[in-house]
Amino acid sequence: MANVIVVGAQFGDEGKAKVTDLLAKNADVVVRYQGGNNAGHTVVVDGETYKFHLIPSGILYKGTVCILGPGMVIDPKALISELAALKDRGMDTSCLKVSAVAHVTMPYHLALDAAEEDNRGGKKIGTTRRGIGPTYADKCDRIGIRIEDLLDADALRAKLDWLVPKKNIMLERIYNLPPQDADEIFKEYIEIGKKIAGYVCDTSAIIFQAVRDRKNILFEGAQGTLLDLDHGSYPYVTSSSPTAGGACTGAGVGPTIIDRVIGVSKAYQTRVGEGPFPTEQFAEIGEKLRQTGTPWAEVGVTTGRPRRCGWFDAVVGRYAVRINGLDCLAVTKLDVLDEFEEIKICVAYKDLKTGEIYNDLPSMAGVFWRMEPIYETFTGWMKPTSGCRSYSELPERARRYLDFISELLECPVAIVSVGPKRDQTIVIEDPIHGPKRVLSHSSASSAAHLS
């Protein structure tokens, strides 16, 4: 029995779904604990590509219980179409469970997300426009509609009669947009409630029972550490808690049941949307990173936007180890670096204004923008890695690259991914049953690498 959290250790799209899919083979329950259909999770199995937005990737294993947890925000129309697409492909979705207390993304959330983005001037966040921020805002404001409300006509009616006029004031008076109709929304969403009613339950009770039964539970993070509302590059973040702590609150479990936390990082780094990205590459290198790794270039799964690309940032990596308490790392997309003659890793930052050296991520948002990366440069391995299935088969320079990442982050690399397919994976050490990472008493700072 082991309960494991998988989190993104960068800015999202690290390849979490591929790693979750690998680990889900031995999981009885897979839980999404935060976010909504802003996520785009790709899994490639037997030549078939699956793109998930709300449903945990564990659904590909027959009989695995898949949970949309209390911490999620759920657009029920998106859920219904994702379910229909899976059923069309012959997948069994009967093991899906949806938390009754998860919040619902409503039509006014979608309109407001887009309107707020369009009116932020130079301060755009670059959201996915899936209504995520406004849905979480209503939840915090304690005026949100929860999944349970879609199953209760009186409750839904009362909430909409009060909420829609309030939202219309914003839509009409602030954004000059057409008002929404409470009656129409009520009729549509009460029908939607009937369609999903069979999946709705107290998911935290199911997880607790699974814990008692010594089952294996996998918590699938969406987004990434630097997109965390509290710990990310605020305000260029999402509105939930993708980090490991969020798994406990978002799923409704205590931290004492968690056995392992696995962080997923690309061998380089990408970001979609706005916000600081010190190692971003704009010209030839950025384009090469974006276009390699076919059949999918670096393009957002949810929005189709090109991802910003850059070198691996060990400052971000060390921060992810700290904030999530990572036991080990899964490094994905190593194959994308196969044809780079020179590869860089950012080992520290220099403050462009003060000249100060930062080994840790600056906690103040304004300062993060001023960070200039200090790089160590590697000679590339210039050999294909996508056919390698063991650490020893990897080119020596690729092994050195991975070892350096592990050293800089003070965290072992347990899994290396060398292609999108399930079998294009190297397991260096068992990420779940291998030795638990022990923090060194006085950490040898990465400054050592600078001297």
Q: Supply the minimum distance, in Å, between the C-beta of residue 328 and Mg ion.
A: 21
Asked if residue 333 binds ligand GDP (CB under 6 A), the reply is: yes
Give CA–CA dist 238/232, Å, rounded.
Answer: 9
Of 425, 430, 393, the residue nearest 412 (C-alpha): 430
Asked if residue 273 binds ligand IMO (CB under 6 A), the reply is: yes
Residue 109 appears among annotated catalytic residues: no
User: Residues 242, 293, 317, 325: which binds ligand GDP (CB under 6 A)?
Assistant: 293
Are the CB atoms for 327 and 438 separated by under 8 Å? no
Give CA–CA dist 179/162, Å, rounded.
Answer: 14
Asked if residue 335 binds ligand GDP (CB under 6 A), the reply is: yes
Residue 103 appears among annotated catalytic residues: no
Residues that bind Mg ion (CB under 5 A): 13, 40, 301
Angle between helices 153-168 and 107-118 (to 10 degrees): 20
Give CA–CA dist 132/257, Å, rounded.
Answer: 29
Q: Which residue is nearest to ligand IMO (CB)?
A: 273
Give CA–CA dist 59/176, Å, rounded.
Answer: 42
Site string for ligand IMO, 193-232 (x = CB under 6 A): -----------------------------xxx--x-----
Q: Which two tokens stand for residue 59?
A: 């659904």
Asked if residue 301 binds ligand GDP (CB under 6 A), the reply is: yes
User: Residues 15, 107, 133, 252: which binds ligand IMO (CB under 6 A)?
Assistant: 133
Question: How many other β-carbons are positioned within 10 Å of the β-carbon of residue 351?
Answer: 14
Asked if residue 128 binds ligand IMO (CB under 6 A), the reply is: yes
The CA-atom distances, in angstroms, between 187 and each of 131, 167, 192 are: 20, 18, 9
The CA-atom distances, in angstroms, between 127 and each of 7, 38, 242 are: 20, 8, 16
Give CA–CA dist 186/191, Å, rounded.
Answer: 9
Q: Supply the minimum distance, in Å, between the C-beta of residue 20 and ligand IMO.
A: 11
Asked if residue 41 binds ligand IMO (CB under 6 A), the reply is: yes
Strands 260-266 and 3-8: parallel
Q: Supply the minimum distance, in Å, between the C-beta of residue 242 and Mg ion.
A: 11
Q: Which residue's CB is nearer to Mg ion, number 116 or number 298?
A: 298
Q: Supply the minimum distance, in Å, between the C-beta of residue 299 and ligand GDP.
A: 9
- Residue ranges binding ligand IMO (CB under 6 A): 8, 12-13, 38-41, 125-128, 130, 132-133, 222-224, 227, 238-239, 272-273
Contacting residues toward ligand GDP, per CB under 6 A? 8, 13-18, 40-42, 44, 293, 296, 301, 332-333, 335-336, 417-420
Q: Which residues are catalytic?
A: 13, 41
